[in-house]
Amino acid sequence: MPHSVPGGTAALLLARLAPPAASLGVFYLALLHWKPETWGLFHLLLSAQAVLQMAAGLGVDLLIFQKGFAQPQEIPRLLRAASSLLLRVGVGLDAAMVLFVTSVTQEPPSLLAACFLAGAIPAASLAPTWRPRGFRLASPIV
């Protein structure tokens, strides 16, 4: 057992396995109740959202790199501000998608909401556990 295992392997495994397993449970509920068309729309919107959020995160990373050379002491503040901004954008996108899908389908909005929330769980769980020492990127935490 290497001494460098942080926090215990079991806890790390739980953190990685539990969220996708839970989200699969919610997705399974949706598969049970939804028509394929609704599932397709949902899957498509989630895919588009994931790509948009990651592109936004990458843009923020590049901006931080650029600013960091000129004012390195500002990096922690920039990271916090970027995280907050990305969060607002993500929340806005989620809410807009729920309203949109609810308006164009006949599905129960509560199930839609649960599925969109569950869609965010694996995205968050895929945040990297390895980072360069002392540095956090904006893109993985959207």
Name which of residues 94 to 113 contact other proteins (CB under 8 A): 94-95, 98-99, 102-103, 108-113
3-class secondary structure, 134: coil
Given candidates 6, 63, 85, 107, which one binds other proteins under the rule CB under 8 A? 6
In whole angstroms, how close is the CB of 88 to other proteins at the nearest point? 10
Q: Which residues contact 63 (CB under 8 A, 6 or more apart)?
A: 78, 82
In whole angstroms, how close is the CB of 106 to other proteins at the nearest point? 13
CA gap 24, 115 in Å, rounded: 9
In whole angstroms, how close is the CB of 71 to other proteins at the nearest point? 9
Nearer to other proteins, 39 or 106 (CB): 39
Both tokens of residue 26?
A: 């919610």
The total of other beta-carbon atoms located within 10 Å of residue 130's CB is: 4
In whole angstroms, how close is the CB of 17 to other proteins at the nearest point? 5
Nearer to other proteins, 69 or 106 (CB): 69
**Alpha-helical runs (H) found in 34-71:** 36-70
Which DSSP state fits 73?
G
Closest CA to 109 of 117, 99, 94: 99
CA gap 131, 14 in Å, rounded: 20
In whole angstroms, how close is the CB of 57 to other proteins at the nearest point? 7
Q: Is 89 in the site for other proteins (CB under 8 A)?
A: no
Looking at residues 18 to 77 of the shown chain, list those that interact with other proteins (rule: CB under 8 A).
18-22, 24, 26-29, 31-32, 34-44, 47-48, 50-51, 53-55, 57-58, 61-62, 65, 68-69, 72-73, 75-76
